[in-house]
Amino acid sequence: MLNSSLAIGKEPAPRYILRSAAAEAIAIFLTRTPTALTSEQTDSLLRSCRTQDVALSVRATVASALSFESTSERFSQLTETSKRQNELFVVAALAGGKRVPVEFAIALLGDNHALLSLLRSSMETGTAVTLTPEIKSWVNGLKTNEDIDRAILYTVNQWIGIASDEPKSPWSPDLEPERIRTITLRSIFGGE
């Protein structure tokens, strides 16, 4: 399903709903059942990371990070990823219990990124406990109305719980259960 051509909308920004669902299902599966990916599966996930559909690329980035051992080397070679996508990859890998080498994080994020102190702290203590002003500032700069920022914020909170306005879902706010309207046949025909 990661290769489905079914899309809502036209170029340049189609929404690949089946691909997004597949990437989300892969992330959930990898959370519950750590599995090494084949080369073909890795290719498919990394191709999804590079798409213009933000919902799909965010989900594929999380799924790729949860299979860090299979995808990290090739993810670091992608040239089409954004800074936020690289941040999400590192945070999702750490939240998923993966050992992320500092050198890898520096190559993706740069040598002055706030996440590096969190990474070093987690390597020294086994948990991320040192919340520096830089980390707090970085977290406060994330916007819950941006899909990728929302996923980073959700993942950071799942990992170490530092933000006060944690989203209930890592995905679009439109998909939170209390925001999805239920339509019944009765309401369609004028009842309720």
Considering only residues 85 and 191, tell me which one the structure prediction assigns the higher pLDDT.
85
- On whether residue 11 sits in a domain, the answer given is no
Number of domains in the chain: 1
Calpha distance 127→73 (Å, rounded): 24
pTM of the complete model beyond 0.85: no
- pLDDT above 70: residue 94: yes
56 CB-near residues (< 8 Å, 6+ apart) = 15, 16, 19, 20, 23, 48
Question: Which residue reads 């944690």 in tokens?
Answer: 166
Cβ atoms of residues 119 and 100 within 8 Å: yes
- On whether residue 82 sits in a domain, the answer given is yes
User: What does the pLDDT look like over 111-160, one tens digit per residue?
Assistant: 889 888 878 777 766 665 567 788 888 888 888 778 888 888 888 887 77
Chain-centroid distance of CA 2 in Å reads: 16
Residue range of the domain that includes 84: 17-188
